Amino acid sequence: MKKLVIVGAGFAGLRLARHLKNQALEIWLIDKNNYHQFQPLFYQVATSGLEPSAISFPLRKVFQKQKNIFIRCAEVSLIDTGAQHIHTSIGNLAYDYLVIATGAGTNFFGNAPIESNAMPMKSVSEALYLRNTILQNLEQALVVPEPQKAALLNVVVVGGGPTGVEVSGALAEMKKHILPKDYPELDFSKMNITLVEAAARTLAAMSEESSAASKRYLEKLGVTVLTNTQVTNYEGHVVHLSNGAQLATRNVIWAAGVKGNWLAGLPETAQARGNRIAVNRFNQVNGFTNVFAIGDIAYMSTPKYANAHPQVATVANEQADVLAKNLKRLLNGETIQQEFEYSNKGSMATVGRHLAVVDLPFLKFRGLLAWLFWMFLHLMLILGVKNKILVFINWMWKYFTFDQSLRLIIKPYHKKKI
């Protein structure tokens, strides 16, 4: 029986494994976590809107009844394409077919001080760390002298894409409805939430109408939006901007860019812009017939997308669908035939209560209807009936009470040495 190794259990890797679960194929799914993470809602974990378990789903539960799928929690350190095996933290693993679906991580653009001090949000654990930091800084603000309070209260969000816009809006709603009740001793009129975007507008990948609406919604919630502005330095206390301004803050959320999670061992000829892996229209890595890359890590140039596809979940899912069909053909002794072309179904972002924007290929709308559409679609995409119910209950509780009860500072446990 042929052996397929899938590295990464994000949207692309998980969907591919589910498509092939009943095939005459030995499938090994490798991920450093034992769960699948629903990335679009990380910001709600970071802002105390959802608990981590509501947007995470155990991989072993997904494949409980599948005898040909093996799951291992490990980190891959090297791909040996000559010997056809991968080096992992739990040993080497041979393959006949290899699919790389390692996704993308945070891109700090080579700025070491920012990387050391700003908070990314590309995993559940990072979202939890962000939540802990913001809440701990609020606790600290209660006991420090007045001149030190501003830096502990202020939040700077870097990056005006969907993640940056959504987390800024969520924090602004917390500032308005929740934090004054939790911390009556603090003056939240002095808390500034600033969104910094290097481009000329927020949500630059969406229509101009939606972009303008998102900026208008953010400002309505009290967020200061700075466009055509870059963060040049941040060493933990003061953000330095390209316009010469300086912002005192201990809370910098970095949502400004992504880069592919590259794996050592692949030839340099396979490396494309953004640290991604260059693939052909069948998602085969350049120079190989049995090594594939799908999802955010894959860089495919097509007539419609000369500079590669956007790094979003819908692209990852569609690439997994097409690759599954082609792998089935290979297993049957046939040649792969179906080329990939992305069918753009639209994009969306939410800013706050009744405030969202949706761009569909045939329609653009904003406001309450867009907000309801955004919630419904994300609820349907979450794995597991229990998770859907948990998310729905949390959303409804927050909607009717203007509150969320997950403002917990959960610190990592350190065992005392005796």
Look up tokens 């009556």; give the residue: 184
Residue among 42, 223, 45, 255 nearest 131 (CA): 45
DSSP β-ladder status, 238-241 and 224-226: unpaired
Chain-centroid distance of CA 414 in Å reads 28
Q: How far apart are CA 29 and CA 49, in angstroms?
A: 30
For 9, counting Cβ atoms within 10 Å of its Cβ (0-12 exposed, 13-18 middle, 19+ buried), the class is buried
Residue given tokens 């419609």 in the structure block: 304
Q: Catalytic one among 51, 126, 166, 197?
A: 166
Alpha-carbon distance 169 to 167, whole Å?
5
Give the β-pairing of 85-88 and 76-80: antiparallel
Residue pair 71/34 in contact by the 8 Å Cβ criterion: yes
Give the residues across from 253 on adjacent strands: 119, 157
Does the annotation count 51 as an active-site position?
no
Q: Rounded to an integer, what distance in angstroms lies between the CA atom of residue 349 and that of residue 375?
A: 10
**Strand pairing partners for 272?**
276
CA dist., res. 262 & res. 271, Å (int): 8
Q: What is the largest CA-CA distance in the chain?
A: 73
Dihedral of the alpha carbons of 397, 49, 60, 74, in degrees to the nearest 10: -170
Q: Enumerate the active-site residues.
A: 166
